[in-house]
């Protein structure tokens, strides 16, 4: 064992650690990054050396799920440790929040930042928020000390007369003008740039993140870095343009990889790598309707907006050298497990006054046991589409694999064995009636368990709202 990992292990084992030293947490959360978009997850043409090193020194989780296949509910699930149906953040009326939405993550929800605040963590949200942009819903009201980023998706508030990006995506080299998207950049509660210059946004998120780590190197911290990329419209700094043979999308991912390298270099330089846990993941699968401007789900079926595996199984890495043994984890995990897991690792508790959906993954992370997660419920627009238990997945509802329109209830549920059939290609319900019955009952019990959830947040509008331009 090298000296630094040995030191980390000794600090971790020390009784002092539990009482006085909490680990730092960093979540690097991409927007619409697909399962097949990193070198370490099999991409042949996008270079991601920093993230590949993260996977090599850490743990690559191959069956890790985002809470939901679209932005707003996925973020609500990650930060609260609950399926977004419980917080009212998934909606049949509207999938996500828009600039004219009045709703947001309810105050009574408890976020990871608020859990860690009990242990006096410094907390920062950098990047895309998308959990409500009115003052009562911004990160500062949900346990974050600092916020720097855009409050909703980077394609929202397209100005009148601007070119249609969908048409542009037919051209692999199409590069949009950030001024066509009237999206503000915020610092805490203030708009500091409007429209945000998205060309440099990944770079500036990175600089702010590095600054936050440096400023808080002597106390425990939680950094939630939610990149607005690679959600379309794709933007990136000059230095990364035209570099990837994968084209513009590859260039964007290579800048995100650079960004991760900057964060890791900072942790190493400050000797914080021995007490920092980094999680890299994505909010949902690739946006396939944007062709070469969207990512790849690799071997998985479909993409963003669907409850096929391509919509919700996301490339995920846990890194804590000397604490988590490097390995590939083929067990299940989910973004809704992070709150419970971080609470466990920091010696505090997840909320006990409400129904939580997260499991403590620390036995699997520490290499002392298996992941306790053995099931997952796939919600989409407030409808339970599918359920997984062990290797079996049963679909009740589906939608179009690319456009995610045409939502429909299946006449008879479809069953797949995900370990033998990663692509959900071979439907086997007729041959396995007992499994179908078991999963149907499991889904019904889960639906009953979510009754009494908070009311829909995504459907509410700001009266008389008008776009700026
Ligand atoms: Mg997304």
CATH number at residue 196: 3.40.720.10
Please indicate, yes or no, if residue 61 is contained in any of the structural domains.
yes
| Tokens found for residue 166 | 């969908």
SS3 380: strand
**192-211: average pLDDT:** 98
Q: Are residues 257 and 357 in the same domain?
A: yes
> What distance in angstroms lies between residue 295's CA and the mean position of ligand 1's atoms?
11
pLDDT tens figures, 43-76: 999 999 999 999 999 999 999 999 999 999 999 9
92 close to 381: Cβ distance less than 8 angstroms: yes
Place of tokens 């932005």: 71
- Could you tell me what percentage of the chain is helix, strand and coil, using 3-state DSSP and rounding each to the nearest 5? 30, 20, 50
pLDDT beyond 70 at 13: no
Q: Are residues 325 and 273 in the same domain?
A: yes
Please indicate, yes or no, if residue 247 is contained in any of the structural domains.
yes
pLDDT at position 10, please? 55
Question: What is the H or E stretch that residue 411 is in?
Answer: strand 408-417
Please indicate, yes or no, if residue 17 is contained in any of the structural domains.
no
Please indicate, yes or no, if residue 268 is contained in any of the structural domains.
yes
The DSSP call for residue 96 is S
pLDDT beyond 90 at 94: yes
Q: Which of 374, 389, 413 is the last residue of a domain?
A: 374
Q: Are residues 58 and 205 in the same domain?
A: yes
How far apart are the C-alpha atoms of 396 and 398, rounded to whole Å? Answer: 7
71 assigned to active site:
yes
> What distance in angstroms lies between residue 32's CA and the mean position of ligand 1's atoms?
4
pLDDT at position 5, please? 53
Range scoring the smallest mean pLDDT among 18-27, 112-121, 266-275, 417-426: 18-27
Please indicate, yes or no, if residue 458 is contained in any of the structural domains.
no
pLDDT beyond 70 at 275: yes
How far apart are the C-alpha atoms of 441 and 431, rounded to whole Å? Answer: 18
Question: What is the H or E stretch that residue 383 is in?
Answer: strand 383-389
pLDDT at position 443, please? 98
Please indicate, yes or no, if residue 11 is contained in any of the structural domains.
no
> What distance in angstroms lies between residue 121's CA and the mean position of ligand 1's atoms?
27
Range scoring the smallest mean pLDDT among 168-172, 378-382, 405-409, 455-459: 168-172
> What distance in angstroms lies between residue 284's CA and the mean position of ligand 1's atoms?
5
Residue 6: pLDDT band (50, 70, 90) is low
pLDDT at position 12, please? 53
pLDDT at position 8, please? 54
| Tokens found for residue 290 | 């944007």
> What distance in angstroms lies between residue 286's CA and the mean position of ligand 1's atoms?
8
| Tokens found for residue 27 | 């979540």
374 close to 389: Cβ distance less than 8 angstroms: yes
331 vs 76, 278, 293, 377, 394, CA distance in Å? 23, 19, 31, 16, 18
How far apart are the C-alpha atoms of 15 and 63, rounded to whole Å? Answer: 33
> What distance in angstroms lies between residue 71's CA and the mean position of ligand 1's atoms?
4
* Cis preceding linkage at 233, omega within 30: yes
> What distance in angstroms lies between residue 76's CA and the mean position of ligand 1's atoms?
12
Q: Are residues 269 and 154 in the same domain?
A: yes
pLDDT at position 446, please? 98
Query: Which one is catalytic: 21, 50, 56, 71?
Result: 71
Q: Are residues 239 and 270 in the same domain?
A: yes
pLDDT beyond 50 at 300: yes
Q: Are residues 58 and 140 in the same domain?
A: yes
> What distance in angstroms lies between residue 219's CA and the mean position of ligand 1's atoms?
32
Please enumerate in sequence order all residues whose Cβ is within 8 A of that of 353, keeping only pairs 6 or more positions apart, or say none. Answer: none
Query: Which one is catalytic: 13, 20, 50, 130?
Result: 130
> What distance in angstroms lies between residue 305's CA and the mean position of ligand 1's atoms?
9
Task: Indicate the number of domains in the chain.
Answer: 2
> What distance in angstroms lies between residue 447's CA and the mean position of ligand 1's atoms?
25
**191-217: average pLDDT:** 98
Beginning with the edge strand found earlier in the chain, give each strand of the sheet holding 392-398 in spatial order.
Answer: 375-380, 383-389, 392-398, 408-417
385 assigned to active site:
no
pLDDT beyond 50 at 170: yes
> What distance in angstroms lies between residue 434's CA and the mean position of ligand 1's atoms?
36
Place of tokens 């990193």: 38
CATH code (residue 415): 3.30.1120.10
70 vs 36, 294, 306, 400, CA distance in Å? 18, 14, 8, 14
Choose among 353, 388, 399, 389: nearest CA to 69.
399
Q: Which of 374, 403, 427 is the last residue of a domain?
A: 374
Q: Which residues surround ligand 1, an ion (CB under 5 A)?
A: 31-32, 71, 283-284
pLDDT beyond 50 at 107: yes
pLDDT tens figures, 408-430: 999 999 999 999 999 999 999 99
Choose among 275, 280, 237: nearest CA to 261.
280
Q: What are the φ/ψ torsions at residue 303 (nearest 5 degrees)?
A: -155, -155
Place of tokens 């500036």: 204
> What distance in angstroms lies between residue 13's CA and the mean position of ligand 1's atoms?
38
**429-456: average pLDDT:** 97
> What distance in angstroms lies between residue 302's CA and the mean position of ligand 1's atoms?
14
pLDDT at position 42, please? 98
pLDDT at position 3, please? 54
Place of tokens 């071979």: 426
pLDDT at position 173, please? 85
Q: Are residues 317 and 404 in the same domain?
A: no
Choose among 328, 311, 318: nearest CA to 388.
311
pLDDT beyond 50 at 18: no
**352-361: average pLDDT:** 98
> What distance in angstroms lies between residue 249's CA and the mean position of ligand 1's atoms?
15
Residue 166: pLDDT band (50, 70, 90) is confident
Across all residues in the chain, what is the average pLDDT? 95
Which residues sit opposite 277 in a β-bridge? 25
How far apart are the C-alpha atoms of 397 and 389, rounded to whole Å? Answer: 17
> What distance in angstroms lies between residue 285's CA and the mean position of ligand 1's atoms?
7
186 close to 222: Cβ distance less than 8 angstroms: no
Choose among 380, 357, 361: nearest CA to 77.
357
Q: Are residues 274 and 408 in the same domain?
A: no
pLDDT at position 31, please? 98
Separation of first and last alpha carbons in the chain: 60
Pairing of strands 276-282, 24-30: parallel
> Cβ–Cβ contacts within 10 Å for residue 406, how many?
8
Q: Are residues 347 and 415 in the same domain?
A: no
Please indicate, yes or no, if residue 50 is contained in any of the structural domains.
yes
Q: Are residues 357 and 426 in the same domain?
A: no
Q: Are residues 361 and 402 in the same domain?
A: no
- Strands (E) across 130-268 are located at 146-149, 185-187, 190-193, 221-226
Pairing of strands 276-282, 221-226: unpaired
pLDDT at position 15, please? 41
Please indicate, yes or no, if residue 406 is contained in any of the structural domains.
yes
pLDDT tens figures, 206-265: 999 999 999 999 999 999 999 999 999 999 999 999 999 999 999 999 999 999 999 999
> What distance in angstroms lies between residue 440's CA and the mean position of ligand 1's atoms?
29
Q: How far is CA 184 from the centre of its chain?
A: 22
What is the residue range of 421's domain? 376-450
Please enumerate in sequence order all residues whose Cβ is within 8 A of that of 385, keeping only pairs 6 or more positions apart, or say none. Answer: 307, 378, 379, 395, 396, 397, 398
Q: What are the φ/ψ torsions at residue 43 (nearest 5 degrees)?
A: -70, 130
- Higher-confidence residue: 310 or 4? 310
Q: Are residues 434 and 293 in the same domain?
A: no
């Amino acid at each position: 064992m090298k000296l630094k990992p040995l030191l980390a292990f000794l600090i971790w084992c020390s009784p002092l650690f539990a009482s006085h030293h909490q680990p730092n947490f960093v979540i690097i959360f991409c927007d619409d990054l697909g399962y097949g978009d990193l070198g370490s997850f099999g991409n042949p043409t996008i270079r991601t050396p920093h993230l590949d090193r993260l996977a090599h020194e850490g743990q690559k989780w191959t069956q890790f799920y985002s809470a939901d296949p679209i932005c707003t509910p996925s973020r609500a699930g990650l930060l609260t440790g609950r399926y977004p149906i419980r917080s009212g953040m998934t909606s049949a009326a509207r999938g996500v929040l828009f600039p004219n939405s009045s709703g947001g993550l309810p105050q009574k929800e408890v976020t990871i930042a608020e859990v860690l605040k009990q242990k006096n963590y410094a907390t920062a949200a950098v990047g895309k928020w998308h959990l409500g942009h009115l003052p009562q819903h911004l990160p500062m009201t949900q346990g974050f000390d600092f916020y720097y980023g855009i409050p909703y998706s980077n394609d929202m508030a397209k100005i009148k007369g601007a070119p249609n990006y969908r048409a542009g995506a037919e051209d692999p080299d199409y590069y949009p003008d950030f001024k066509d998207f009237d999206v503000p950049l915020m610092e805490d509660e203030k708009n500091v740039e409007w429209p945000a210059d998205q060309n440099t946004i990944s770079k500036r998120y990175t600089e702010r993140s590095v600054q936050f780590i440096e400023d808080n190197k002597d106390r425990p911290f939680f950094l939630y870095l939610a990149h607005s990329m690679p959600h379309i419209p794709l933007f990136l700094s000059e230095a990364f343009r035209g570099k990837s043979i994968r084209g513009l999308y590859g260039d964007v991912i290579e800048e995100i990889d650079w960004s991760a390298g900057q964060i890791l270099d900072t942790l190493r330089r400050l000797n914080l790598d021995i007490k920092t846990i980094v999680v890299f993941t994505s909010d949902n699968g690739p946006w396939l309707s944007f062709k070469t401007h969207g990512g790849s789900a690799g071997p998985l079926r479909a993409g963003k907006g669907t409850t096929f595996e391509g919509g919700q199984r996301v490339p995920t890495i846990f890194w804590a050298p000397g604490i988590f043994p490097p390995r590939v984890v083929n067990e299940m995990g989910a973004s809704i497990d992070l709150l419970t897991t971080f609470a466990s690792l920091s010696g505090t508790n997840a909320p006990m006054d409400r129904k939580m959906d997260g499991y403590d993954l620390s036995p699997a992370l520490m290499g002392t046991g298996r992941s306790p997660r053995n099931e997952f419920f796939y919600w989409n627009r407030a409808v339970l589409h599918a359920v997984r238990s062990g290797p079996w997945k049963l679909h009740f509802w589906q939608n179009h694999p690319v456009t995610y329109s045409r939502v429909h209830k299946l006449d008879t549920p479809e069953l797949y064995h995900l370990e033998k059939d990663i692509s959900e290609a071979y439907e086997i319900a007729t041959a396995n009636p007992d499994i179908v019955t078991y999963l149907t009952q499991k889904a019904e019990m889960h639906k009953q368990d979510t009754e009494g959830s908070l009311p829909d947040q995504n459907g509410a509008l700001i009266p008389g709202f008008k776009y700026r331009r």
